[in-house]
Amino acid sequence: MSTSSPGFVVPTTLVHPGRVRGGLARREEIWGYVFISPWIIGFALFTFLPMAAAAVFSLTDFDLRRPDDIRFIGLANYERLLTDPVVAQSIGVTLRFIAITVPLNLVVALGLALLLNSPRVAGKPLLRTLFYMPIQIPLVAATLIWAGVLNGSSGWVNTILGVIGINGPDWIGDSSWVLVTLALIGVWSVGNMMLIFVAGLQGVPSELYDAARVDGAGTWRTFRSVTLPLITPILFYNLLISLVTSFQTFIQAFVLKNGVPDAATNLFNLNLYRQAFSFNQMGYASGLAWVLFAVILGVTVILFWSSRRWVYYAAER
Q: Which string of b and e fits 181-205 if b means at least 16 CB within 10 Å?
A: bbbbbbebbbbebbbbbbebbeebe
Binds another protein (CB under 8 A): choice among 105, 151, 189, 242: 151
| Candidate residues 33, 260, 302, 306; the one interacting with another protein per rule CB under 8 A | 260
Q: Which of residues 61-90 bind another protein (CB under 8 A)?
A: 64-67
281 vs 70: CA distance, rounded Å: 11
Cβ distance to another protein smaller for residue 112 or 271: 271
Helix-helix angle 191-202:124-132, to 10 degrees: 140
Cα angle 199, 201, 205 (rounded to 5 degrees) comes to 115
Residue number with CB closer to another protein (15 or 90): 90
DSSP sequence for 99-110: HHHHHHHHHHHH
* Distance of closest approach, residue 99 Cβ to another protein, in angstroms: 20
Radius of gyration of the chain (CA): 26
Contacting residue, 204, 217, 223, 228, with another protein by CB under 8 A: 204
Give the residue with the Cβ less far from another protein, 72 or 279. Answer: 279
Using the rule CB under 8 A, is 148 a contact of another protein? yes
Strands (E), the chain: 2-5, 8-11, 60-61, 71-72
Residues 6+ apart with CB under 8 A from 177: 169, 170, 171
Out of 23, 203, 218, 298, name the contact with another protein by CB under 8 A.
Answer: 203
Instruction: State how far the Cα of 263 lies from the Cα of 257, in Å rounded to an integer.
Output: 11
User: Does residue 115 belong to the site contacting another protein (CB under 8 A)?
Assistant: no
| Rounded Cα distance, 42 and 151, in Å | 41
Q: How far is the CB of 277 from another protein (least distance, A)?
A: 4
Residue 147 beta carbon to another protein: minimum distance, rounded to whole angstroms: 7
CB of 84 to another protein, least distance (A): 11
CB 34 → another protein: shortest distance, Å?
20
Q: Which residues between 266 and 305 bind another protein (CB under 8 A)? A: 269, 273-274, 276-280, 282, 289, 292-293, 296-297, 300-301, 304
**Phi, then psi, of 217 in degrees rounded to 5:** -75, 140
| Contact range with another protein by CB under 8 A, out of 96-104, 119-127, 143-151, 186-194 | 143-151
Min CB(1)–another protein separation in Å: 38
Q: Judged by CB under 8 A, which stretch of 15-23, 97-105, 217-225, 252-260 contacts another protein? A: 252-260
State which of residues 106, 170, 192, 225 lies at the interface with another protein (CB under 8 A): 170
Under the binding rule (CB under 8 A), the answer on residue 254 touching another protein is yes
Shortest gap between Cβ of 95 and another protein (angstroms)? 17
Q: Does 239 bind another protein (CB under 8 A)?
A: no
Using rule CB under 8 A, residue 205 touches another protein: yes
What distances in angstroms separate CA 168 from CA 146, 182, 188, 253, 255, one per listed residue?
A: 15, 16, 20, 21, 22
Binding to another protein, residues 22-61 (CB under 8 A):
43, 46-47, 50-51
SS3 annotation, 131-185: HHHHHHCCHHHHHHHHHHHCCCCCCHHHHHHHHCCCCCCCCCCCCCCHHHHHHHH
* Residue 242: CB minimum distance to another protein, A: 12
